[in-house]
Amino acid sequence: MFDKSEIIVGLEIGTAKTCAVVGEADADGTLQIIGVGTEPTRGAVRKGEIVNADLAEEAIRAALAAAEESADVELRSVYLSVTGSHIEGNNYHGMHPIASVDREIDEEDLKAVERKAHPKLTDGREVLHALRQGYRVDGQGGVENPLGRFASRLEVDAHVVSGQITRLQNSVCAVKGLGLEVEALAFAGRAAACAALSPEQCELGALLIDLGAGTTEYVVYHNRSLRHSRVIAVGGEHVSNDISVGLKLSNARAEKLKLEHGAALPDPAAHGRTVNFTSDVGLDNRTVSISHLHQVMYARLEELLMLIRDDLARAGLLAHLRAGVVLTGGGARVPELERLATQVFQMSVQTARAKVGSGPSSILDEPECSTALGLVKLGAQQHAAQRHSRTGVFDWLAGKLVGA
């Protein structure tokens, strides 16, 4: 029977805008996207983190109100994404000896080995996700379910994402100040990947790059598990700032120029083309070269992509990306970015379309909505797990929301 309470809301408080997506999940797990609301943050967020609580609450309230109206439902709680330079992702290993060689591995052994993979966090950090990568039984890898096997040693590998508690609380408090509950937190890169990557891509190996205004998150999946996650505190605003400095324009003019005439690669056809700006108060009339604009954008975006490529090369992951690179976030709209990324990574690159069930193409095709859409999908998985009293969606280490 359909349960009207199965309304799931994903909320991303981004540097440029706040996005709320509403989904409706029925008893068999079918998910439909029924509403969306967005609102500019207007300086409330910097590099993915709230710096002005009052302005942030205004943006959240407006985005949620628009989402309520479009979905025709009352919203009571949200799944909330978090990001920022304090977010860290690392791989951990746990080993548990089996007391007797003639004893089968049981649930207590699984809990014991998973506890041993739990990182000893310091400096006020908290685990957001602890995602199991795989078990090994007496050195044999690739074991999906070791229950019932005879062994002398059980091992597990996990990817753990953590953040500073105080900085996580800033986002939670902004939502709770509006009288809403936060169902769970999720790393923005993890949520975006849940929306943008297919199971096949996660199996083959894929890099998801989420280019936002203030940060760029990226995650690597291989053999259906999360292998690598990072945040770079550089995004679209930094590209605009480079344009402002390089072309001696105001920030507003630089942003307008980027949106209307920008490209990630220099366009030979743009040689000799210019854009004229009429005077603002205190500013002279300006004529700007489109070729110069493209060169400035190219320099920053190539540097960003090369930072990601070099990080993955050090981690030995580039050879595992058989499904290539997937771009999402507002920055994915920059013309020629796919071609630039193809040159940098030397593999196939595509811009994502959300894979979260049914809904209006106007929402599913928006790369800016990927994180909020992924939160809805994660929330639907959590609801399904609770209905069937099974684990796999909740973090087996800390009780936080994670993906399957």
- 302 φψ region: left (φ > 0), alpha (ψ -120 to 50), beta (else): alpha
pLDDT at 3 over 50: no
Residue 398 and residue 129: Cα distance in Å, rounded? 8
Residue 33 CB burial class (10 angstroms; 0-12, 13-18, ≥19)? buried
Q: What is the mean pLDDT of residues 101-129?
A: 86
Say which range, 92-96, 119-123, 241-245, has the weakest mean pLDDT: 119-123
Check residue 139 and report its DSSP letter: T
Residue 134 and residue 215: Cα distance in Å, rounded? 30
Looking at the chain, the whole-number percentage of residues with pLDDT higher than 70 is 91
Q: Which two tokens stand for residue 258?
A: 């980027």
286 pLDDT band, cuts 50/70/90, is confident
pLDDT tens string 238-285: 999 999 999 988 888 899 999 999 999 998 888 889 888 765 555 567
Residue 275 and residue 265: Cα distance in Å, rounded? 18
Mean pLDDT, the chain, as a whole number? Answer: 88
pLDDT at position 400: 38
pLDDT at position 391: 44
396 pLDDT band, cuts 50/70/90, is very low
pLDDT at position 389: 55
Instruction: Locate the DSSP E strands across 223-361.
Output: 225-232, 274-277, 286-289, 325-328, 349-351
The answer to pTM > 0.75 is yes
Q: What is the mean pLDDT of residues 216-233?
A: 97
79 pLDDT band, cuts 50/70/90, is very high
pLDDT at position 31: 87
pLDDT tens string 97-107: 987 767 889 88
pLDDT at position 339: 97
Strands 181-187 and 77-82, bridge-based pairing? parallel
Residue 51: name the closest of 41, 37, 60 by CA: 41
State residue 321 phi and psi, 5-degree precision: -90, 65
Residue 339 and residue 60: Cα distance in Å, rounded? 35
Residue 161: name the closest of 246, 82, 268 by CA: 82
Say which range, 130-144, 168-182, 186-200, 339-353, has the weakest mean pLDDT: 130-144
Higher pLDDT, 400 or 386: 386
Bridge-partner residues for 132, per DSSP?
158
Looking at the chain, the whole-number percentage of residues with pLDDT higher than 90 is 68
Q: What is the mean pLDDT of residues 339-345?
A: 98
Residue 191 and residue 153: Cα distance in Å, rounded? 34
pLDDT at position 154: 93
Higher pLDDT, 99 or 125: 125
Full 3-state SS string of 33-45: EEEEEEEECCCCE
pLDDT at 326 over 60: yes
C-beta separation of 257 from 249 below 8 A:
yes
pLDDT at position 399: 34
